[in-house]
Chains A and B, each alone.
Chain A
Amino acid sequence: MKAFKVVPVLLLLIYTAASITRWPTHTICKNNNLEVKYRSCDPLQDLALGVDSCSYVPGIVINIRIATILRYTINELSVDISLILNGQTIPIYAKQLCEQNHPEFQFCGKKKGEYIYYEGPVSLNMEGIPQGEFNISAQLFNENRNTVVCADFFIRNR
């Protein structure tokens, strides 16, 4: 079962040439209630992303797996998450993940060209996922505001 999850993640790592501007949409979770798809919005590369559970229970951390090859060094890394509503971007969460001097995570300080694989918990701090369909954009960028990871999520919750 585990291999079944890891193989597509690794396959996605084989990045395609930069001439492709629109990356394919991947489904990371689909059941009767919840459907989550994503597409890389980084013009340079696609992204491999997976979760270990397709149901959301408030208070329980979700383990995610994310893999990519860095196009930029990340001495500092920040994340912006925003809700896309009618073409407008509404910021909902922002945090600095890596600081220069005393980084918390092992991937902090990685160099351009290095391969990153992160498997670990992510706490959403949400009571629950709202009902309906909505789009969320997540962007990770470095100290020079170069996009390190960019993904648009399509979430449908019945």
Chain B
Amino acid sequence: MPGKCVVFSPACITFSLAMLFELNLKTRSLNPCLEVIPGHSYRCMELNLTRVPSGIPNTAQTLDLSFNPLKILFSNYFSSLFALRFLDLTRCHLWKIEDHAFWGLNNLSVLILTGNPLQILEPKAFHNLPSLQRLIAVEANFSPLESLPIGHLTSLQELNFSHNDIDSLKLPVYFSCLIFLQHLSFQLNRITSISVGDLDALSSQNLTLVLSRNDIKYIELNAFAGVHLQQLFLRACFENSSIMQASIQNMSGLHVNSLVLGDYRNIRRLESFNKNLLDGLCNLHLQEITLIEIKSLQTGSSFSSCINNISMVRVVHTFISEAAYFPTNSNIDQLEFKDCQWKKVPAEKLSSLKKLKVIRITHNKYLRGFEVYFTGLLNLEVLDISVNSLITHLSWVHLLEGAPNLKHLNLSFNSEIHLKIECSGPAKLEYLDLQHTRLYLPGTVPSFLCLNNLIYLDISYTGTNVIAECSFCGLDNLRVLKMSGNFFANNQLVDNFRNLTKLQFLDISNCQLTYISLSSLASLHELRLLNVSHNKLLGLHPETYMHIPVLTTLDLHNNQLAALMEEDLKNLPGSLKYLDLSENLFDCSCSHVSFLQWAKNSSTLLQNVKNMVCHSPVDLKNVQVLDFDLASCKISTATVVISVSAVLVLIIILILGYKYYFYLYYMMVLFIGHRLSDEKVTAYDAFVIFSSKDQEWVKQELQEPLEEELPYFRLCLFYRDFIPGVSIITNIIKEGFQTSRKVIAVVSSHFLESRWCNFELEVAQSWQLVESKASLILVVLEGVDKTVLHRKLGLFRYLRRNTFLMWKDRDFSRHVFLRQLRSALLEGKTWTEEELRLVLKK
């Protein structure tokens, strides 16, 4: 086979690729679950699975298999998933769990079996779960507790058996082993009576026991005697007041930190709650009682004296008639009324509770104001009248007179409060929350003048318009100021915070600020957090950062910043750890390349970088600032370099062109002009090139003998035949070379020195090549230095290869010279008729 494979290797590759693809597809189909955190958390909810999908890796810690028809958990059902910590088997149609079903799940801490019709739990069903802390088996068809095989789960902290069929609170002996148990819920079961000994097995004293919605008919006397509980819920447990009264009487001896008594809004069984009902509480040891959802609390002349020894009383969702009186000499120190339909703060009645430290009156829809202020509550430290509908003129003097030690005042989420400027000496108030309550006067007058000890002030969204410079005068110890959603005069922050020198936290977000002056933050040397988000700022003054040296958090998101300037970046405090610049109008053009570069290098400092997107230029809109390609700016510098160098090259070419103009012209003529030469009429027999210094010689020795003696020749001489007004080069080419048959070069020492002559000679040589005939006649004059000739190499070479005429100032040699010259000129000459006639005449 391998041999075959070599032969058909392309087919083999295709085949193996196909196999790989199919394998990949298969593994995907094996794991149809949602990978919440890869390798860690998987969600397989409602996928019609009948078993654990094999694609779940053994590193998975969280597995949600809810709403799948698993039906039966066999032994070793989850053995491969030994890392599991959280297993959700809600509504898996489970009716049977076999022995060792959870074998191998040594780390499992949460097991959810809600909504399964469990019928058979084998005795070792829950074995091998040494770490199980929470077992949630709501609506799981559990009945007698004794039969549940959970006694060995000693790590259990929470057992939730809500909505089952458990009919007795008789806790089996194994509960004495569950020493870490903190939460035990039997809500909505069928417990009808509680007897002595039922709770004997409880070993934990830190337990929260939920018995709500069991129809309890009878509690045996001392059934709870000696039992210690953290919290006990008894909501909607008693059919009527008499059963409840008898039951509470019989619960004597119970030690419970917090007792919750009452009904639900849609299950109201107790008609009213009277004094006698609470009299039974005298025999219980309570720290805290919550009375919830009682139709009405008819207290008659006063509350039961049995609540005197309870330190915290809370009444929730219950109507209390305004005629109620509270017991005097009570030990109640915390009192809370939530949604009790008060119309006014019952300050007069509450003033009798001299030991009160905390009063909370919240969520009363119709509560509009104080009837009077509190009097004589020397211990009161916390007053919370939030989430009501208060419309009031608050008098600091009266409020703090009756409660001089008040430290914490919460008036948030009310309708309208007018704060007068009043002062009766320094107040002890440290915490003041007025958020989302419409405020009158703060901002225009120094309303907080007396609150010298205030540490925390929240006036967010109170419609405050800060006009006066002294709005915050008096708040010399303020550390936290939250005032988002307010206004500043002209939308500018000026010197309003000058005296807040101890401020550490400042929130002025959403204040429509367009400008923050440098001096406004200059005195806030201890500022750690500054939130100026959701404003319309173009930036902060760069020197601002130098005045706030310990700043750790700066939130500038949702402003109109285009970029941080280099000076800003330089001045950013070194202590800065969190900087949010998202949702600004960033300009991602290369002019801000230093900011963009800085942003890329500061990803640990910058928060919410996903929303840091470019606003301009248009083609980069909504691109993340950190994704900006810095290289694109470098390319543009390269193009600048290229274009500059191109311009330079062009200039050089122009300079060279100017300098070597006639060479170029001559080359042009060579390549283009000579084609036209045939058409030109040959006007001259020879074009004489010579140095102007040899003009005399030319006149005597060439012009006279050749033009005036027979045979007549016509010479082209520059001093006579060149057309004036035309450039020399044009004359040389057009008048000289193109219209002459031969070229006579008069080589003298002047000739060799002249650049023009050399040029003409070169043109003549090239012409000779192009025309491919020996039209150049060289005349070397007497006295030409051989060494100069040598130096002018080109000429020397030429002379070596061509014949040339030597002229010597002697009669005989002059005669020979002329003869030779004439015969050279005669070669190829065509005579016109006129010329012939002239010759014959002679």
Q: Which of A17, A71, A102, A120 contacts B316 (CB 8 A)?
A: A102
Could you give, for residues 98-141 of chain A, a 1 whenever the CB lies within 8 Å of some chain B CB and a 0 otherwise? Answer: 00001111100011111100101100000000000000000000
A47 at the interface (CB under 8 A from B): no
Interface majority SS on A: helix, strand, loop or mixed? loop
Q: Which residues of B contact A103 (CB under 8 A)?
A: 264
A18 at the B interface (CB under 8 A): yes
**Given A113-B90, A113-B139, A114-B139, A105:B46 Cβ within 8 A:** no
Q: Does B317 contact A (CB under 8 A)?
A: yes
B536 at the interface (CB under 8 A from A): no
Minimum C-beta distance from B46 to chain A (A): 5
Residues of chain B lying within 8 A (CB to CB) of residue A110: 138
In B277-302, which residues have CB < 8 Å from any A CB? Answer: 290, 292-293
In the complex, A69 Cα to B46 Cα: how many Å?
13
Is there an interface contact between A111 and B264, defined as CB atoms closer than 8 Å?
A: no
Tell me the chain B residues, 366-389 only, with Cβ under 8 Å from chain A: none
B213 contacts across to A, CB distance below 8 A:
106
Q: How far is the CA of A118 from the CA of B88 in the complex (A)?
A: 26
B140's nearest neighbour on chain A, judged by CB, is: A113
Per-position 1/0 for B36-64, Cβ under 8 A of A: 00000000011010000000000000000
* Docked complex Cα distance between A93 and B116 (Å): 36
By a CB distance below 8 angstroms, the chain A residues around B48 are 17
Q: Residues of B contacting A111 with CB < 8 Å? A: 90, 112, 114, 136, 138, 160, 162
Residues of B within 8 A of A102 (CB): 290, 292, 316-317, 338
Contact A113 B66 (CB under 8 A): yes
Instruction: Give CA–CA (A102, B45) in the complex, Å.
Output: 30
User: With A113-B90, A114-B114, A115-B139 known to touch, is A105 a contact of B266 (CB < 8 Å)?
Assistant: yes
| Nearest CB of chain A from residue B318's CB, rounded to whole Å | 11
Most buried by B among A69, A118, A121: A69
- Interface presence of B115 (CB below 8 A): yes
The reply to whether the CB of A74 lies closer than 8 angstroms to some CB of chain B is no
Q: Within the assembled complex, what's the spacing in Å between the Cα atoms of A105 and B213?
A: 12
A51 → chain B closest CB, angstroms: 16
Interface: A44 (CB within 8 A)? yes
- Supposing A44-B46, A113-B114, A115-B115 touch, asked if A106 and B266 sit within 8 A by C-beta, the answer is yes
CB A139 to nearest CB in B, in angstroms, measures 20
Contact of A112 among B114, B163, B236, B317 (CB under 8 A): B114
Tell me whether A113 and B265 are in contact (CB under 8 A): no
Q: Are A106 and B264 in contact (CB under 8 A)?
A: yes
Please report whether the interface of chain B is mostly helix, strand, loop or mixed according to DSSP.
loop
Instruction: Please give, as numbers and ranges, the residues of chain B lying within 8 Å of A115 by CB-CB distance.
Output: 115, 139
Q: How far is the CA of A104 from the CA of B265 in the complex (A)?
A: 5
Decide yes or no whether B91 CB sits under 8 A from chain A.
Answer: yes
Q: What 0/1 pattern do residues 83 to 115 of B give for CB contact below 8 A with A?
A: 000001011000000000000000000001011
Closest to B187 in A: A109
Report yes or no: A69 in contact with B91, Cβ–Cβ below 8 A: yes
CB distance from B163 to the nearest CB of A (A): 6
Residues on A with C-beta less than 8 A from B264 are 103-106
Residue of A nearest to B139 (CB): A114
* A121–B66 alpha-carbon span in the complex (Å): 32
Residue of A nearest to B47 (CB): A18
Residue of B nearest to A104 (CB): B265
In the complex, chain B residues whose CB is within 8 Å of the CB of A17: 46, 48
Give the CA-CA distance A106 to B210 in the complex, in Å: 13
Whether the Cβ atoms of A105 and B265 lie closer than 8 Å is yes
Residue B267 lies at the interface, judged by CB distance under 8 Å to chain A: yes
B266 touches A18 (CB 8 A): no
Bound CA span A104–B295, Å: 12
- Determine the distance from Cα of A111 to Cα of B185 in the docked complex, in whole angstroms: 13
Which partner residue on chain A sits nearest B188 by CB separation? A106
Contact A113 B91 (CB under 8 A): yes
Encoded as 1 (CB less than 8 Å from any B CB) or 0, chain A from 37 to 54 comes to 000000010000000000
- Name the residue on B nearest A121 (C-beta): B266
B-contact 0/1 string along A15-50, CB 8 Å cutoff:
001100000000000000000000000001000000
When the two chains form their complex, are residues A114 and B266 in contact, meaning their CB atoms are under 8 A apart? no
Question: Are A118 and B266 neighbours in the complex by a CB distance under 8 Å?
Answer: yes
Residues of A within 8 Å of B66, CB to CB, are 112-113
Which residue of A17, A18, A69, A113 has the most chain B CB atoms within 10 A of its CB atom? A113
Q: With the chains together, A103 CA to B210 CA distance in Å?
A: 14
Near B by CB (< 8 A), chain A positions 64-80 give: 69, 71
Give Cα A101–Cα B292 distance, bound, in whole angstroms. Answer: 11
* Alpha-carbon gap, A105 to B263, bound state (A): 9
CA distance A102 to B362 in the complex (A): 13
Q: Which A residue's beta carbon lies closest to that of B45? A: A71
Q: Which residues of B contact A69 (CB under 8 A)?
A: 91, 115
Alpha-carbon separation in the docked complex, A112 to B290 (Å): 27
- Residues from chain A with a CB closer than 8 A to the CB of B46 are 17-18, 44
Given that A112-B114, A113-B115 are contacting pairs, would A106 and B138 also be in contact in the complex, using a CB cutoff of 8 Å? no
List the 10 closest pairs (A to B, CB-CB), nearest first: A113-B90, A113-B115, A113-B114, A106-B264, A104-B265, A120-B266, A113-B91, A102-B316, A111-B138, A18-B46
A sample of 5 more A-B contacts (CB under 8 A), given A71-B45, A103-B264, A106-B267, is A102-B317, A111-B114, A111-B138, A113-B114, A114-B139
Would you give 10 A-B contacts (Cβ < 8 Å), ordered by A? Answer: A102-B290, A103-B264, A105-B265, A106-B236, A111-B136, A113-B91, A113-B112, A113-B115, A113-B139, A114-B163
Q: Chain A residues in contact with chain B, CB under 8 A?
A: 17-18, 44, 69, 71, 102-106, 110-115, 118, 120-121
